[in-house]
Chain A
Amino acid sequence: MFFTVTDAVDLSKFPADRIRNFCIIAHIDHGKSTLADRLLEMTGAIAKTEKNKQVLDKLQVERERGITVKAQTASLFYNHEGQQYLLNLIDTPGHVDFSYEVSRSISACQGVLLIVDANQGIQAQTVANFYLAFEAQLAIIPVINKIDLKNADPERVESQIEKVFDIPREECIRISAKLGTNVENVLQAVVDRIPPPEASIDDPFKALVFDSNFDHYRGVVANIAVFGGRVKKGDRIVSAYLGKTYEVNELGLLRPDEHSTGKLFAGQVGYIVAGMKDVKEAQIGDTLYLQEQPVEALPGFKPAKAMVFAGMYPMDQSEYQGLRSAIEKLTLNDSSVTVQRDSSLALGAGWRLGFLGLLHMEVFNQRLEQEYNASVIVTAPTVPYKAVLSSAKLIKEHGSKEITIVNPAQFPDRTVVSEYLEPMVLGTILAPDSYTGKIMSLCLNRRAVQKNMLYIDDQRVMMKYLFPLNEVVVDFYDLLKSLSSGYASFDYENAGYQAADLIKMDILLNGRPVEELITIVHRDRAYSSGKAMCERLKDSIPRQMFEIAVQAAIGSKVIARETIKAYKKNVLAKCYGGDITRKMKLLKKQAEGKKKMRLIGSVEVPKDAFINVLKRKQK
C-alpha cells in the first residue's frame, strides 16, 4: 500500500532516517525518464495513465531527443515494512555537458540508480556518470532496464557491469520500466541499500542549491537539499556566493509539481521562493543559510564556465530586438549561458554566447527556434584558447600573464606570447570492436592521444582519448556515429589546457583580408580548414566581372587557394515587352542586394557567403 498525500503534509514526521535522496543516471535512451514515471505512478505522485510518458522531461527538445536537460525533482511517499518513507528523486541532466550540474545533484544524494539498457549495454555516458557517483562515494544500485526487449541480454550486461564497475552481478536489478516489471524491487532497494542523509535538525540551517528556474510572477524558484536544521516561510536567508539576504516567501515539496508546506527540515529536498530576481542569484552549487546563523559554504561550488562559444545573429537586423528578448528569456532559466554583445561587419549586431558544451548549445538553439520562433544565424562553434604572455607591457595591460581569447581577431601575435594553450577533453568511446580501426584513425585525425583501451566484454571496447576540445566541437560526434553505423557512443569531460601550436589564419579575397573570417587553427589543421573555407566561399560568392582569388594565408604565406572565374557573358538573351516585368524584378533584387553587399576591396560579398562559411553545417 502506498501513502497518498491529500492535504498539507507534516514534514516534521519525516526525520532524516526515513528519508532517502537518490538520483537516476543513465546513457541517453536507456530509460531513465520512463523509470521515473513508473516510480511516480507507483507512489501515487501522478495518476497512472497512458499519457504518463516521461513526465519529468518537460521541454519539447527533451522529449524529442530523449534527454533531460533541466533537472526535475519529485518527492515520493513510500510505505515499506509498515514505515512511511520520503523518497526524494533528484532527476539529473542527462548529459555530461552538464556534468557540473550532475555533480551538484549527486552531492544532494546518498545513492544513485545506474540504469543500463539490457540490449545496448554500457555506453560512454554510463561510464562518465558512474565515475561521478563513484567519486561522490554514493551507494550505487545497478538497474538493467528493457529486459522485455527481444534482443535483451541482461547476463552480458551484468558481466560488463562487473568488469567495468567492479559491482557484483548479484546486485543488479533486472526490470522493464515500460511494463513496470520489478520496479517495486527498485523502490525497496532504494530504502534498503541507500543510507539516509546525515543531517541533524538541531544544526543551523544549511541548504544546497542544486537547480533553479525562473517564474515570471515569483522570480527565481530554487531547488534545494536541506543539509541541516530547518527553514520556514518568513525566515531571512543568505546566499553564500553573493552574500545577499532574502526573505523566504514560499517553500515546499516537489511532487513533481510544487506543493507548498511552509517548512522544510534537515534531509529533505524541495523548492524555495525568496524574491530572487535573476537565476544568477541562485547559482547551482551555492549554499543558503539563515541570516542570524552563518555557516561555512558547502564545498564544490564553481560558477558556470563556458567551454564552447558561438555567434548568434538575427537573420535580418530588423529582428534584433525580438531575438534579444528571446535570448534574455532563455537565459533567465539558464545561468550557465554567458552572453556578450558582438557585432560583425557581415552579419550585423548580434551576440557571442558561451555554452557548457555542444549539446548545451544545441539545446539552446532548438529552444530559441521552437519556443520563441526566432530565426537565427548560428556561427560554427569555437573554443576559448589561452595565451601565456611574454611581454611585460602586455601582462601589465591585461593584469595577468595568461589571457583567454574568445574572439579570433584578438589573437595576440606570436612575438609577445611564450605559449598558446588549448582546452582539452578526455573522451570516452564505447563501440563494438569491429569498428575499432576506423575509430582509431578518426581520433588520430583529430589530434587525439589514446590513453586507455579496455574490452568490457568479448565484443565491446572502451577507449579513452585525450582530445583538443576544438577537434570535437564541430562534427566529430556525427562522423563517429556514421562510421560506426550508430553503434559507438561518445562522451567527454574537461581535462584542462595544454600547450598547442596555434596560428591565426586569414582569408583573403583578391589579397584583402576579411576580418570576420579570421580563424585560430592548429598548425597541423591549417591547410585542411583553410581549404574547406576557401571552397565554401567559392561556392557562395557569385561570379563577378573579374576573377576573384580566394586564399587562406598564415602571415604572408598563402596555404590554400580557390579561384572564382570572371563572368564572360552575363546578359539575358531575350528581352522584349512581355519580359520586362520579370527582368526588372530580378535586376531590382540584385540592385537591392548590391546595397547590402560587403565590399572587400572591389569584391562584393553577399551576406549569404559569410553565413555559409561561418554557420554550423546542418546535419
Chain B
Amino acid sequence: MDVVNQLQRQFIDYSASLHREGFLDDQFTQLQKLQDDNSPDFVVEVASLFFEDCEKLINNMARALEQQQGVDFKQVDASVHQLKGSSSSIGAMRVKDVCIAFRSFCEAQNREGCLRCLQQVTHEYSLLKNKLQTLFRLQQQILAAGGSIPVVE
C-alpha cells in the first residue's frame, strides 16, 4: 500500500504541475473523469490520436509554408484551425494558445510570423507529448502496483 500511496502522490503532484504550467486545462480533467473500468486506456488512446493528428497537421502547415511560389495561407489556416479544435478538445492549452496567434499571422498573410508560430507549435507539441508520456507511465505503475488512479481536481 505504501508504494501505491507514493506513486499516487507523485501522480497528483505531476498532474498539478502540468496544470500549473499551463500544459493542461480543465478539459483534460473532464476527460480523465470519463475514464472508467470499462475503458481504462481511453485517455491514453485519445492522446495518441491527438498526437497523430498534430503530426499530420504540423506537416501540412510546414509543406504549405515551404512553397516558394507563394504560400496558400488559407490552407495553413485550415490546418491551424483544426489543430486549435483538437487541442482545445483534449485540454492542450499551450498548443491551443499558439494556434490563436498562428491564425492572426495567417490572416495577415505574414509568412515569417507563421514560420515562428510553426516552430512554437512544434515545440509545444513535443513538450506536451513528453509530459503526457511521463504521466501515463506513472498511471501504469500505479495500476501495476494494484492501486487506482486518483482524480486530480
Q: Does B associate with A?
A: no
Q: Which B residues lie at the A interface, using CB under 8 A?
A: none
Q: Which A residues lie at the B interface, using CB under 8 A?
A: none
